[in-house]
């Protein structure tokens, strides 16, 4: 385990202990879905109290706590290449908003290199990273890319980068609703990777993002709608869909655990906004149940029948036990585990939705 020198030795020991408790809890409690429900409830309550006390800091983020320097740079590059691939362009300009960067300005630096004039980074949690180590990541990124020009000051620090601004400790929901009220038509790009599934109100955030985009502006969101191992480590992948819907927010809202908003609900909102003439959009499927990843840009209708067969059989076999909300959803939507939303605000559109 990587040691984070942003913390004192005493705090390091506490953090290691907490990690061990969390791992053991997952190992033992994870076998029993009801016990996991109680654990998530308590974990969420703990986070609620932390938010109330204004302590939204976290050290849990793979990029800053588990990857080595090269892996971190590969990951940052991979995410940015994902935006280019999904949007079908390498040309960036204007102001970008990245949601949930998880303490890293790596993606923002690549966006600046690709042509963005400024990048805003908003994250609900304040990721406490080892600045020395993150500085090594930025240095390696500068060896691979032309981003040295954006360093302000003698050494790399995420706070000293030209036209890259941090809004940590702000939820995307509150940030975007304010942006929609006060500065509509502001961003040329809004992007995220592995974040929208953790928003506590992703659909209203999506509507606000459309308002915040400039006409002709684009959004790319990679969304992973699996349960992050909470139930599936020892149970069927879809066990989390058996938990009653009225309980789910109480398990996840404050802690940032997955929101259980699945593909069909994003599609419904985007289809409505398209009907109103505000946007055009595409949804590419990147993963199906059973760890099937799809690397080409395939829509729901492009996926071949033989790829659908096993995940659909899984869904059908389990569907009767799902919460009512999910029993009514067409099985193909429940069989999708990850996807990317690519949205363009129409050039003529200036109104809010």
Measured from the CB atom, the residue of 124 and 145 that comes closer to ligand SAM is 124
Please report, for residues 151, 192, 246, the alpha-carbon distance to residue 77 in angstroms, rounded to integers and kept in the order given: 18, 14, 39
Stretch that binds ligand SAM, among 38-46, 143-151, 197-205, 302-310 (CB under 6 A): 197-205
Q: Name the CA radius of gyration of the chain, rounded.
A: 20
> Shortest gap between Cβ of 193 and ligand SAM (angstroms)?
4
> In sequence order, what are the beta bridge partners of 123?
168
230 binds ligand SAM (CB under 6 A): no
> Shortest gap between Cβ of 301 and ligand SAM (angstroms)?
28
User: Could you tell me the two tokens for 268?
Assistant: 């419904």
> Shortest gap between Cβ of 61 and ligand SAM (angstroms)?
6
For residue 99, how many C-alpha atoms fall within 13 Å in the half-sphere facing its CB? Answer: 28
Any idea what DSSP says for residue 296? E
Stretch that binds ligand SAM, among 96-104, 183-191, 261-269, 333-341 (CB under 6 A): 96-104
**Count of positions on this chain that bind ligand SAM (CB under 6 A):** 21
> Shortest gap between Cβ of 224 and ligand SAM (angstroms)?
8
> Shortest gap between Cβ of 81 and ligand SAM (angstroms)?
13
190 binds ligand SAM (CB under 6 A): no
199 binds ligand SAM (CB under 6 A): yes
Please report, for residues 29, 257, 336, the alpha-carbon distance to residue 236 in angstroms, rounded to integers and kept in the order given: 15, 19, 15
End-to-end CA distance of the chain: 47
99 binds ligand SAM (CB under 6 A): yes
CA 54, chain centre distance (Å): 22
200 binds ligand SAM (CB under 6 A): yes
254 binds ligand SAM (CB under 6 A): no
101 binds ligand SAM (CB under 6 A): yes
261 binds ligand SAM (CB under 6 A): no
Among 123, 140, 227, 237, binds ligand SAM (CB under 6 A): 123
217 binds ligand SAM (CB under 6 A): no
- CB-neighbour burial class of residue 265 (10 A; exposed 0-12, middle 13-18, buried 19+): middle
- CB-neighbour burial class of residue 293 (10 A; exposed 0-12, middle 13-18, buried 19+): exposed
Among 47, 83, 92, 125, binds ligand SAM (CB under 6 A): 125
φ, ψ dihedrals at 283, nearest 5°: -125, 120
φ, ψ dihedrals at 168, nearest 5°: -85, 150
- CB-neighbour burial class of residue 289 (10 A; exposed 0-12, middle 13-18, buried 19+): buried
Stretch that binds ligand SAM, among 36-44, 182-190, 195-203, 309-317 (CB under 6 A): 195-203
User: Could you tell me the two tokens for 196?
Assistant: 């929208």
83 binds ligand SAM (CB under 6 A): no
Judged by CB under 6 A, the chain residues 133 through 172 that form the site for ligand SAM are 171-172
> Shortest gap between Cβ of 347 and ligand SAM (angstroms)?
29
- Residue 262 CB neighbours (<10 A): 20
> Shortest gap between Cβ of 322 and ligand SAM (angstroms)?
25
Rounded Cα distance, 185 and 94, in Å: 12
25 binds ligand SAM (CB under 6 A): no
φ, ψ dihedrals at 199, nearest 5°: -65, 145
- Binding-site ranges for ligand SAM (CB under 6 A): 61, 63, 79, 99-102, 122-125, 171-173, 193-195, 198-200, 256
């Amino acid at each position: 385990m990587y040691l984070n020198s942003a913390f004192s030795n005493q705090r390091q020991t506490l953090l290691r202990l907490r990690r061990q408790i969390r791992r053991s809890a997952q190992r033992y409690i994870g076998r029993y879905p009801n016990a996991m429900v109680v654990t998530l409830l308590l974990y969420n309550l703990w986070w609620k109290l932390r938010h109330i006390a204004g302590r939204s800091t976290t050290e849990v983020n793979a990029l800053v706590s588990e990857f080595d320097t090269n892996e971190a740079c590969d990951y940052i590059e991979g995410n940015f290449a994902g935006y280019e691939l999904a949007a079908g362009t390498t040309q960036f300009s204007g102001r970008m908003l990245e949601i949930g960067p998880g303490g890293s300005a790596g993606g923002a630096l690549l966006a600046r290199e690709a042509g963005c004039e400024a990048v805003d980074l908003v994250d609900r949690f304040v990721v406490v990273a080892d600045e020395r180590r993150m500085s090594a990541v930025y240095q390696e990124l500068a060896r691979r890319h032309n981003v040295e020009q954006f360093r302000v000051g003698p050494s790399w620090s995420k706070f000293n980068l030209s036209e890259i601004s941090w809004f940590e400790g702000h939820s995307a929901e509150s940030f975007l609703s304010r942006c929609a009220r006060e500065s509509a038509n502001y961003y040329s790009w809004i992007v995220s990777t592995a974040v929208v599934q953790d928003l506590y109100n992703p659909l209203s955030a999506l509507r606000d993002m459309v308002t915040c985009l400039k006409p002709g502006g684009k959004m790319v969101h990679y969304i992973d709608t699996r349960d992050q191992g909470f139930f599936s480590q020892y149970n069927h992948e879809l066990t989390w869909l058996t938990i009653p819907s009225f309980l789910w927010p109480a398990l996840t809202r404050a802690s940032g655990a997955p929101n259980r908003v699945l593909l069909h609900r994003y599609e419904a909102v985007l289809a409505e906004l398209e009907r109103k003439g505000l946007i055009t959009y595409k949804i590419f499927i990147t993963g199906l149940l059973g760890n099937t990843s799809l690397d080409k840009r395939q829509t729901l209708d492009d996926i071949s029948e033989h790829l659908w067969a096993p995940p659909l059989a899984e869904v059908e076999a389990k569907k009767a036990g799902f919460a009512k909300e999910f029993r009514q959803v067409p099985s193909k939507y429940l069989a999708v585990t990850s996807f990317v939303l690519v949205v363009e605000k129409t050039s003529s559109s200036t109104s809010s939705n």
